Structure 1
Amino acid sequence: MPEKIIPSQDLICQVQYRNLYSNSSDFITVPLNSAEKIGSCNLTGLWDSTEYSVAIRCISAVSIFWSEWSRGKRASTEEKAPSEKVDLWRVIESSHPAGSRSVHLMWKPLSSFPPSGRILGYKIQYFPENNAALKMTNISTDKKTILLLNKEAYIISVTAYNSAGNSPEAVLRIPSTDEKSSQVIETVRTFTTSEEVVVEWVAFEPEVTEYVVEWYEELETDPFGRSWQYVSNSTNWKTNKKNFKPFVCYNISVYPLYGNKVAAPYSIQTYVQQKSMYFKQIMS
């Protein structure tokens, strides 16, 4: 209640609220019970897990001047479980003499906006494709992990979680060591524009609608040093040239996807320097 307003006067209050991601504000006008000095309203359409600032000013029925805005009050809305699955990828190392192999898993949360909440960690589950009863579960606060698997085919899933629940599962299948995948992609070519690197490919099977483009420096030995991006309903991919270093050779691979199965890649090597690009095919 503004100090200079007579309590017996009829009052109208204006509620100003804004989330701290935005410079714009929304307003609601509500009546105030002058005798009880109480007013209330419900704010709707707010973002999840977002801090808001709220302030109020009043005007009497006999005045043309609003009071000053009250001091702002801050509060946060509740979290909701992550609504989107993580962007999951893998690098499979060669089999060890004992028949086991290291699978490097890496993932990145998709940047949903507004955010549903703060990610607390990730749950990794994996099991042999033919024996789901042997499911194993790991918890990680990092965005990568290494699994030591035997020669069997495995199903791997990763979910992000916060205080409100889990995201949908991101699932990939790791093939057995003796599986052979046919070549789905006929050719890949790369070129540059003034601002972008472009990768285009032709597939033998047009019904394939999803791919992964993977790229990394030729001298990069850390599997976690690779970059990747999913591509849907397209046979070309573009990225800013700033994502590539000039005069450095890059390995670029295009992987066709069949649901959670990853087919054999088609790989090339590429140099990006100014407006020209040199590439050579790597025989698979």
Structure 2
Amino acid sequence: MSSRGSLCVLICVFCFCCALKRKDVQELTVTGEDLKDCGKQEKVCVTSSDDCLAASDVLAATPESFVNMSCHFLEDAESFTCRWIQLSDVRTESDFIFRRADEVYCPSILNYFSHFNLIIKSKSVVSQKEQFSEVYPVIIKEIVQAPRPVITSVNVTDSSVNVTWNGGKIQVTKCRIRYKHLNTESWTETADFPASDESLFVIEGLQAFSEYRLSVSCFHGNSRWSDWSDETRVKTSESPPSASLSLSYHLASDGNSGVRQLLLLWKALDVTDARGLVRGYEVSYMPTKQPSLKKTFNTTELKAVVRVTAEEYEVTVWANNSAGRSPHRRLRVDASRSQDVRSVKGLWVYSDGSSLRIRWERDFSAVNVSEFAIEWSAETNPIRKHWQRVDGSTFTTRLTGIEPDEIYTISVYPVYDSLCGPPTSISADLQHGALLDLVRFRLVNLTQSSLAVQWTWKEAKPRVNVLQYRLVLEGAHGNESLSVSPDKQQHSFDQLHANAKYSIYIQGETTTGNFSKASLDVNTPLIDYDEMMRFAVPVILLLLVFGIFSVSSRTVFREYFFPIVANPRYSLIGRWLLNPHLKGNGKICVLKLESSFQFDQQEKNFIQVERRVSLISEHQEVIPSKISTTGEGTTLWKPNSDALAPSSLPEYVDLPLLADDSDYVQTGHISSVAQTSD
């Protein structure tokens, strides 16, 4: 838009504003003592002597400047009052001009039987410009108004107010009362009721321990209703609370001892339900199977922590005020069952003027949260706790009443009807916001397609009030950003590009701008170690399996398709076939038994003598025959690797070759031997 166009717009706006006339409600009250005569003008009375000069003139009326005028006369005070709306763009002063057709005595013109014409004159305070209303005919007896009542006393109960008032010197015939709750804008009016000598009325159906404003108006004969009396503030008395508490609980394990901590959390009653000032709460709990172990205690807090064992408990809570206690709220808690109830995540706080603003993450999807309970207290006065409840769809709220030099501990509890989660806490003050600082920002893992960073939160007073911290990743292929909070200490970025440069930094946001808290520059590798190992290990295993298969398959294939053929040179039969000119050796070596055993009694042993004919060649030695026992006796000699030569035995004898029969040996001598020869 050009400068000329802007100037035209400003001029139009200025002209429009100047054309608007200000609407002011004007009211002027006069008595007979305020009226003055105008000398020779005996039919005129004025409130200012300066108006007498214009009284005989023809006045130019501007009725559009005087709107919604009404007048009334108070008989007991002999006062005349008019109200109207003045349409003017400047401040004005107003006067009355009274005219009658006959002569008038000005101090007595205001009486019950009087009548006259009224003109209102307004004069600009700045320009002294005068404006006159049109002529209003006035008949006093038609505008008489009952006197304004004065409330003299009120008596209250928990649901009613007894009002007494004074109606003035004139006897009124009927009255009415209006009242409203202190926190509402609309009034409630009673029906008209006849006035009594006591001027007394009782307002029923009020809320206990509630503050009201009320006023009275009365009527006399054919007069007008009086103005409302001055407002009187009253407060009904207390009554026992009408509603039970909203109670929820959380179970936390206390190590391996079997003892658990039961957190009880309840909501303060609304004013309409509390019906008074709640002075404390009564809590009782007992094992359902052991009622004799019932315990009861009182507290002024909105939470309590008790130690229980792994069994079922019955918990009851009441609210108390000076008039009594509320209906009980009872829960059955199975302390043997664990609870998987999440706490809020992403809790952060910063200063916002004279208050603290807290917020937490929105993605709270474990269960439906009915509301959040916020608890905060100053470190110098931890006993005095403040509570606030917000709806389950709300994820931010403002904490008011914060002292400038105090450090506050703030906790947020998620509430799910009768269950609640563990608290998430943070410390803050009005100057710095959250008393946490982010340090030790570092890279913990880097691959071809991902990286991971880590940081640490430290309790400290930061230099500035940080609205939030954000983790930012910048690269040639795009940017990523996310909010970080004290419950988050590391993050991984995936789907990155290989052999690419990235910048990672923590950014703090303030009301005046952003600043970089810590930063890192990294390059992703072209091929990372894990990828190499994923490729190399299968290849090595494949080669190893292929080698084993090749070696084993060669042996197997050779055995099935290329079997080993026996060499005749190493076979006795083969040798005999190749060299048939062999000679049999008819000698056998026999162990002489007398040299090895001494027999005290007659024993019989069966000896089988096996004739073994050796087929020897010129280069072969004769293998001795084998002798063994076949009865109950002991083996006399067995050939082995160390006793192939006959010389290893004590003594041998040469016997003729026996036939294929056997005989018994007695006392170490062979009874008969059949000799055969080649």
| Paired residues for 1:100-249 under 5 Å | 100=259, 107=266, 109-113=268-272, 116-128=275-287, 130-131=288-289, 133-134=291-292, 136=294, 138-140=296-298, 142-143=300-301, 147-162=306-321, 163=323, 165-167=325-327, 169=329, 171=331, 173=333, 175-176=335-336, 179-182=337-340, 188-190=345-347, 195=352, 196-203=357-364, 205=366, 207-210=367-370, 212=372, 233-234=392-393, 237-240=395-398
Match of 2:197 in 1: 37
Mapped to 1, the partners of 2:217 and 2:415 lie a distance apart of: 59
Distance change >3 Å, CA 225–CA 159, structure 1 → 2 = same
Q: Give the TM-score, by structure 1 length.
A: 0.60
1:61–1:31 Cα change, 3 Å: farther
- Please say if residues 48 and 117 of structure 1, whose CA atoms lie closer than 8 Å, have aligned partners that are also in contact: yes
Equivalents in 2 of 1:151, 1:165: separation in Å? Answer: 31
Listed one character per residue, the Cα deviations across residues 115-139 of structure 1 (whole Å, up to 9, x for unaligned) are: 52232432212122x5373473525
Q: 450, 460, 465: which is aligned to 1:274?
A: 465
Distance 1:96 1:118, change over 3 A: farther
| Contact persistence 1:82–1:160 (CA under 8 A) | no
Residue 42 of structure 1 deviates from its aligned partner by 5.3
Residue 76, structure 1, aligned to residue 236, structure 2: yes
Distance apart, 1:226 and its partner CA: 7.9
Unaligned 5+ segments in structure 1 are none
CA distance in 2: counterparts of 1:190 and 1:225, whole angstroms: 22
Name the structure 1 match of 2:651: none
| Counterpart pick for 1:63 among 223, 240, 263 | 223
CA distance in 2, matches of 1:223, 1:172: 31
Percent identical among aligned pairs is 16
Contact 2:251 2:338 survives alignment (8 Å): no
Matched length:
267
Indicate how the Cα distance of structure 1 residues 161 and 191 shifts in structure 2: closer, same or farther if over 3 A, else same.
closer
1:28 aligns with 2:158: no
Whole-Å separation in 1 of the counterparts to 2:351 and 2:313 = 43
Asked if the contact 1:16/1:54 (under 8 Å) is kept, the reply is: yes
Alpha-carbon displacement from aligned partner over 1:200-236 (angstroms, at most 9, x marks no partner): 154564x54446566779xx7x9978877666654x6
Query: Match for 2:219: what amino acid?
Result: I
Task: Give the Cα–Cα distance (whole angstroms) in 2 for the partners of residues 71 and 102 of structure 1.
Answer: 54
Residue identity opposite 1:239 in structure 2:
T
Cα distance per residue 1:222-272 (max 9 Å; x no partner) = 9978877666654x62122667999x8978666574x53446x59687873
Considering only CA atoms, is the larger Rg found in Structure 1 or Structure 2? 2
**Which deviations, in whole Å up to 9, do the C-alpha atoms of 1:77-112 show, x marking residues without a partner?**
663524352566679684696x65665656552443
Higher relative contact order (CA 8 A, sep 6+): 1
* TM-score where L is the length of structure 2: 0.30
Change (3 A) 1:95 1:112: farther
Gapped runs of 5+ residues in structure 2? Answer: 1-165, 428-432, 435-463, 470-484, 490-678
1-structure distance, mates of 2:212, 2:415: 44
Distance 1:228 1:126, change over 3 A: same
Counterpart Cα distance in 1 of 2:351 and 2:208: 40
- Compute the displacement of 1:197 (Å): 2.6
Cross-structure match for 1:4: 169
Aligned-pair Cα RMSD in Å? 5.3
Q: Cα deviations across residues 117-172 of structure 1 (Å, max 9, x unaligned)?
A: 232432212122x5373473525252265544345453433221332541452758
SS of equivalent residue, structure 2 residue 283: strand
Contact 1:31–1:39 under 8 Å retained in 2 = no
- Structure 2 CA distance for partners of 1:23 and 1:107, relative to 1, 3 Å: same
